[in-house]
Structure 1
Amino acid sequence: RWERTATYNLGLDFSLWNYRLSGSLDYYYKNSTDVIGLLSSDPTSGFNSYNANTASIINNGFEMQITSNNILSDRFSWKTQLTGSFNFNKVKEVMTAQPSGVEGLIPLISQIEYVAEKPIGALYAYNYAGLNDKGQPEIIDKNGNRRMVSTSTSGGNSEISIDDMVYMGTTTPKYVLGLNNQFSLGQFDLSFLFMYYGGHVMRTQAPDPYVTNRSFNSEALNYWKESGDETNTDIPGFMVVGDPNYFNAYSKTGYTYAKKFVKNADFIRLRDIVLTYRIKEELSNKFHLSNTMIRFQAQNLFKYTFSDNSIDPDAIDRNSGVRTLPRPTMFSFSLYTNF
């Protein structure tokens, strides 16, 4: 079926004190049904996934823009602009059955899935209990019992369900704010833009002795090696098939996707600083030019994260915790003119 959306909007524009303060406020409500998304298919069909109606979703929130002309004079001016977006969404209905076995829970944890009565991008984690005396990772299930995610050599264990996990929040920012200040002095213009993203969480990568690339965490060296180590570490050791202490990769997800590795993803970034010099028209006209400007721009000079780590929330897959390349600090110099 075609995806359908009913939208309701209410807006307000205002200006005060001869436009010294102006802005707009918009409230919206969207009810989307038969939302189209990707579903996994039987590999024997020749396709890994297909498009289908997957869910019904409600979005509501408001957007604002406020502009303040703080100082206006012949040679100097200062203008501030605040923009904001506040979005709250909820999946009302899921048209496909949620996976119940371990094989199904892995994509449910590490990928964005629709979950009824939860927001888009719902993130789940295990209530990790630590290691037993065999070095095997255990979780606390919905009944308060310690257990492994999987006890079979094949990995499957249908007794584990979404109820054995903890909802941690959404990976999608609920609040986005922008603060832009613009200054003009004579022929010079200076502006800088701060952005804030908040109300969301991210999964971070667990210390793992198997990880040997640039994402390696030195804490992984303190992994379990023999009975008794479980009193001073909760990092699983190496899995050896045939060993009495063997645990499979499915069981390890109880550690990898533990709730302690889910962090607050709120952050502030100084996204842009732009310095412009506007060459006087009488000088430009001598060279048959007009509107000539020299511009220097710097991007991503500063960021502040609200979590207890220095991970850039823009440089990580918030569902799986896999790190990506951080946004580089960039500088540019440009010349603009009209012939």
Structure 2
Amino acid sequence: KANHFDITAGYEYSHMKYWGNKWSRTMYPSTFEGTSDTGAPLAGTQKAYDTSRWRGQVYIVSWYGRANYSLLDRYLLTFTARYDGSSRFADGHRWGFFPAAAFAWRVKEESFLKDVNAISDLKLRLGWGKTGQQDTGKPYYTATYAKSTSEHFLYPIGGGDNTGLLYRPNAYNDDLTWETTTTWNFGLDYGMFDQRLVLNFDAYYRKTTDLLSETGIPAGMNFDNSLLRNTGSLENKGFEVAVTGRPIQTKDWFVELSVNAAYNKNKITELASGYDMIAAGMKAGQDAPVTYHKVGMPANSFYVWQQVYDENGRPIMGCYVDRDGNGSVDENDKYFYKNIVAPWTGGFSFKVSYKNWDLGSNFRASFGNYVYNGYAQGKANTSVLCNPKGYYQNCTKELTALRWTSDNYPLSDYFVQNASFLKCDNITLGYNFNNLLQMGKYKGISGRIYASCSNVFTITKYKGLEPEQTSGKDSSVYPRCRTFLLGLNLNF
């Protein structure tokens, strides 16, 4: 077989703009949309607002290329490279180079397997590559000034339309640069019995450096009490496996079952500036940090006090375990308890069809993820004090110290709750039809009618409304809706 070689190169340019209409509408009305010859506003007209005075913008420029080489249709090589620039970073830090390489071996095409009918596919894959992350969540991270949108910051500058305008500097970091993730991957694709049984397996190791994370900073260090920084390094290791089976494939029947599972373990390997632990961004109560990054621990780990319970298993408000045994509860008694990332995730789906009918459904599962129940914490009765003669002998006995721990009640591990779940995302039942209203040479109408339900059910022990919280904190009382849909597709 002939060899094959191809090259692709390209250039990409993106310019995104942001407007702050709320600020411009309250502070900068321009002329009225209807005016008389003298310029006076006409009755019944509305104001036209100038949105050009408050904006942000981001430029992203990319050069990229890819080369593919196939040898004897069995050995496949791919090289890719990107050179990306982002205006979110300061001069000297805007550009990042991200190469990648992959190799695949189609073992099935080798002579010793080509005639083995039981094995329909066998491929081994190796990969290495770097990717970049520049999404800081803000248009700029260099020195800029913002026009105040708050009535608490009013100062007349220039008079006229400028009355009330206040310029104040934004927090910035001139040393901020790309977050880079390097991945090593091994994969296996295996098929049997003419692809009636398919197995896909991947094992990986990822190393993230210059991790982008917003952390608290000392007062006076910058123009805010927190700052986005390149805070350190993070590693992830794990595997993913998926199995798809099509045990029944006849004229009238088709059955397909698919199951997948993934395991991931992560930990912080290094923090910038010699820190051993920094706040990770999640806050509770009166802006108290509740998650931290610590060297040797998983990212976004909860750092809390251990709650004390009475004989009936009810939490004693403001009362925590004296873990170091020094007779009082203080900062040294906090401990790391769980984190927001699930080590195990998985899914299951099926599709069954009989003649013109079909039925399908998808399920997802997450095991071992924890959520901070901020809504429950906000509604908790923190005025209930610990009984010094009660269940736990190391409860704080001095009223002043007891009041101090009560004020910090949001940092109790009681609100760090297991959010493992099994969800049925959707169920769909459909019917396909042909030749409806057929007359003579007219073939009629074909189509499909179906009924589906989304967010069918959730099985979980989580005490809040929604266990699936990407941020790791639940602060909403609005549940996800269950949607029913009846649809009709027609082909003429």
TM-score by length of structure 2 reads 0.52
Distance change in 2, residues 1:25/1:316 (3 Å): closer
Alignment of 1:180-191 (within 5 A): 180-191=349-360
Task: Please list, as runs of the form range in 1=range in 2, the aligned pairs for 1:162-173 lying within 5 A after superposition.
Answer: 164-173=333-342
Partner of 2:74: none
Within 5 Å, which residues of 2 pair with 1:161-310?
A: 161=332, 164-204=333-373, 216=379, 220=381, 223-224=384-385, 231=390, 245=399, 251-252=405-406, 254-280=408-434, 282-283=435-436, 292-306=447-461, 309=463
Name the CA distance, whole Å, in 1 between partners of 2:226 and 2:383: 40
Which structure dedicates a bigger proportion of its chain to strand?
A: 2
Displacement of 1:222: 9.2
Deviations 1:62-82 (A, max 9, x none): 122211012221112111011
Shift of residue 300, structure 1, vs aligned partner: 1.6
> Which secondary structure does the structure 2 equivalent of 1:336 belong to?
strand
* Partner residue in 1 for 2:490: 337
Cα shift at 1:283? 2.0
Q: Determine whether 1:124 maps to 2:293.
A: no
User: Residues 126-163 of structure 1: CA distance to partner in whole angstroms, max 9, x if unpaired?
Assistant: 023479xxx993433442234244xxxxxxxxxx24xx
Instruction: Give the length in aligned residue pairs.
Output: 299
Residue 15 of structure 1, CA deviation:
0.7
Residues 259 and 36 of structure 1, relative CA distance in 2, 3 Å threshold: closer
Mapped contact 2:371–2:416 kept (Cα < 8 A) = yes
Change (3 A) 1:245 1:24: same
Structure 1: which 5+ runs fail to align?
150-159, 234-243
User: Who is 2:290 aligned against?
Assistant: 110
2:466 is matched with which residue?
Answer: 312
SS at match of 1:260: helix
Give the AA of the match of 1:80: L
Match of 1:251, SS? helix
Match of 2:203 among 18, 21, 27: 27
**Alignment of 1:325 onto 2:486:** no
Aligned amino acid, residue 120 of structure 1: A
Counterpart AA for 1:17: F
- Partner in structure 2 of residue 51 of structure 1: 228
Q: Which range is displaced more, 247-256 or 91-100? A: 247-256
Counterpart CA distance in 1 for 2:322 and 2:329 is 9
Cα distance in structure 2, aligned partners of 1:255 and 1:61: 36
TM-score, structure 1 as length reference? 0.73
The aligned counterpart of 1:94 is 271
1:2 is the counterpart of 2:155: no
Contact 2:382 2:409 in 1 (8 A): no
Instruction: Give SS of 1:114's match.
Output: strand
- Structure 2: where are the runs of 5+ without partners? 1-176, 311-315, 393-397
Deviations 1:64-123 (A, max 9, x none): 2211012221112111011222211111011153369xxx99867524x32211112212
Equivalent position of 2:190 in the other structure: 14
For residue 212 of structure 2, what is the aligned residue in structure 1? 36
Q: Which residue matches 1:241?
A: none
Task: For 1:144, give the aligned amino acid.
Answer: G
Q: Structure 1 residues 119, 305: closer, same or farther in 2, change over 3 A?
A: same
- Secondary structure, aligned partner of 2:293: coil
Structure 1 pair 81–289 and aligned structure 2 pair: CA distance change class (3 A): farther
Q: Distance in 1 between matches of 2:421 and 2:475?
A: 18
Over 3 Å counting, the alpha-carbon distance change for 1:195 and 1:124 in structure 2 is same
Instruction: Rate the CA distance shift 1:229–1:90 in 2: closer, same or farther, 3 A.
Output: closer
TM-aligned CA deviation for residue 188 of structure 1? 1.3
Whole-angstrom CA distance in 2 between matches of 1:266 and 1:316: 13
Q: Given residue 268 of structure 1, which amino acid in structure 2 is its aligned partner? A: L
**Which stretch shifts more, 43-52 or 80-89?**
43-52
Task: Assess, with a 3 A threshold, how the Cα gap between structure 1 residues 58 and 289 changes in structure 2: closer, same or farther.
Answer: farther
- The answer for the alignment partner of 1:74 in structure 2 is 251
Q: 1:90/1:232 Cα in 2 relative to 1: closer, same or farther (>3 Å)?
A: closer
**d(CA) in 2 for partners of 1:247 and 1:29?**
46
Q: 3-state DSSP class of the match of 1:314?
A: coil
RMSD, matched Cα:
3.8
Between 1:326-335 and 1:121-130, the stretch displaced more is 121-130
